[in-house]
Amino acid sequence: MLADGGAIVNVTSNSIFQNGLATGFSAYASMKGGLTVLTSYVAKEFSHRRIRVNSVAPGATRTRIGDDAYDKHPEAIQQIVETTALGRLGQANDVGAMIAAVLSDDFRWVTAQHIEASGGARLSVAS
């Protein structure tokens, strides 16, 4: 149903990267990792139709994930902020803007890529 020359963006997670391993996330990260692999295969399979397929891997983003975990456990936010190069928790519109950009014609020559949108999660932040 997608027109030739279209674009697909799958939303994965930066939990799939080696520097994102955390106890308690194995099922979630495995599912997102599977979606990352699917992105590569579908990009190959749809290439004859000029359909671009990419994935965006958000970092910690203020959403209602985990039954509003960020509202219930605000102390977790500080730890995330301290290890994120841009010094804040992501917002839904940060991820939405990235997805819109990847879907735009500006990314017309990009396919089968996995793009992290995390504000520099888990980078060493200089004091």
Tens of each residue's pLDDT in the chain, 127 residues: 899 999 999 999 988 877 766 788 789 889 999 999 999 999 999 999 999 999 999 998 988 776 677 888 888 888 889 989 999 999 999 999 999 999 999 999 999 999 999 999 988 555 4
pLDDT of residue 88: 93
70 is catalytic: no
Single out the catalytic residue among 8, 25, 28, 42.
28
28 in any annotated domain: yes
Which CATH number covers residue 78? 3.40.50.720
Residue 126 lies in a domain: no
pLDDT at 126: 53
DSSP string, 78-121: HHHHHTBTT-S-EEHHHHHHHHHHHHSGGGTT--S-EEEESSSB
Residue 2 lies in a domain: no
Q: What is the predicted pLDDT for the residue at 98?
A: 98
Q: Is residue 122 part of a domain?
A: no
Query: How many structural domains comprise the chain?
Result: 1
Q: For residue 8, what pLDDT is reported?
A: 98
123: in domain = no
Domain that holds residue 13: 7-117
Q: What is the pTM of this model?
A: 0.88
Domain-located, residue 85: yes
The answer as to whether 125 is a domain residue is: no
So what's the pLDDT on residue 49?
98
In a domain, 77, yes or no: yes
